Chain A
Amino acid sequence: MSIEIKVNGETRQVEPGVSVAALLAQLGIEPRHLAVEHNGEFIGEDEFAAATLSAGDRLEIVRFVGGG
């Protein structure tokens, strides 16, 4: 049984209760310099492991790399 969530506006199937940290690993996104909003609320990098995803959740992930 998988659940449906939205990541950067795109629908994805994930395991129920998966953590943000685990999802980032699945997506191959290095968990550094990220601005992540879970259902419109910012979560810090130290909260990725504890934040779990439920059906219908929205996740926005912005990754910053250096250069300016």
Chain B
Amino acid sequence: MSSDSPTISIKVNEQPARVARGWDLGAVRDAYKPEADILIRNGCPQGAESPLAEGDAVVLIRRGEQPTAEELEALMTARHGPGVHARVKRARVGIAGCGGLGSAVAVALGRLGVGALRLVDFDVVEPSNLNRQQFFVDQIGCHKAQALAQNLARINPYVALEPLDRRITVANAAETFESCDVVAECFDDPAAKRDLTVAMRRGRPATPLVTVSGIAGYGPSDEIQVRRVLGNVWLIGDGVSAAAPGLGLLAPRVAVAAGHQANVILRILLGEES
């Protein structure tokens, strides 16, 4: 296309369009979706006076309107940057245990737009879980994996959710997390934590495993550290604060550890931890 052509080819909400050379983003909005109040050009929200060039991708969104998958993806790309979004969208992450850690890690990864989440838990939501776990009162008695999938679908309907009501054992761990790029160990029981670590090291040594040990109580947040151990295993926690009578699991410190877990997983998916 010569530069003196009177029109340019762009995309408007994923559809090819031909518009007059010299139009700005506001002119495209006026022509295609005058009610739009979020204008995105090539993944970045921009003002109406932003000039357009051949090949630009424009997404026009009205605040409050339910976006399509393509529009939501354009918004996510705008928020996270194209390099982050494209890589997390291809990933499948396994969540071993959907309690305080697992539900919070899954919510963070769902908001990031991770392509698929395999949610595994054998338990049901109990009233005592609601002090720190990402469930609602009306979900008491529901299977945790299913309940978490319901909540994630409301946050980001374009994540593939794979809930599994299953108790993970040494024997089934490797099979349970087949085709996962990373696995988050989010159990409560220390023997189950150890067993998953051993099973993954033996059965899936190439799959990164992000584990947690020592998050109870309300000790300083900074004592919850991240370190790499045993090759492909990361360990998060203060290493000593076990849940016990008098030292409960409280939402803030569990969230600190879950945030570390989700960020380590993101860094692994982006190739920042190799």
Determine chain A's interface SS by DSSP, over half rule.
Answer: loop
Identify which of A60, A67, A68 gathers the most chain B CB atoms within 10 Å of its CB.
A68
Whole-angstrom distance between the alpha carbons of A47 and B124 in the complex?
36
B229: contacting residue among A8, A40, A67, CB under 8 A: A8
- Complex CA distance for A57 and B208, rounded to whole angstroms: 24
Segment at the interface with A among B2-10, B23-31, B63-71, B194-202: B194-202
Closest to B96 in A: A68
Residues A65 and B239 in contact in the complex (CB < 8 Å), given A34-B194, A35-B198: yes
Tell me which residues from 163 to 190 in chain B have a Cβ below 8 Å from any Cβ of chain A: 186-190
Please name all residues of chain B whose beta carbon is closer than 8 Å to the beta carbon of A42 when the two chains form the complex.
Answer: 198, 201-202
Q: How far is the CB of B137 from chain A (nearest CB, A)?
A: 21
Give the tally of cross-chain contacts (CB within 8 A). 79
Known: A62-B213, A68-B101. A35 touches B194 (CB 8 A): yes
Q: Are B233 and A62 in contact, with the CB atoms below 8 A?
A: yes
Would B239 and A68 count as touching, CB distance under 8 A?
Answer: no
A20 to chain B, nearest CB (A): 15
Bound-state Cα–Cα, A44 to B214, Å: 22
Residues in A with CB closer than 8 Å to B99 are 68
Name 14 A/B residue pairs within 8 A (Cβ), A-sorted. A33-B190, A33-B191, A33-B194, A35-B194, A35-B197, A35-B201, A35-B233, A64-B190, A65-B216, A65-B237, A66-B188, A67-B216, A68-B99, A68-B193
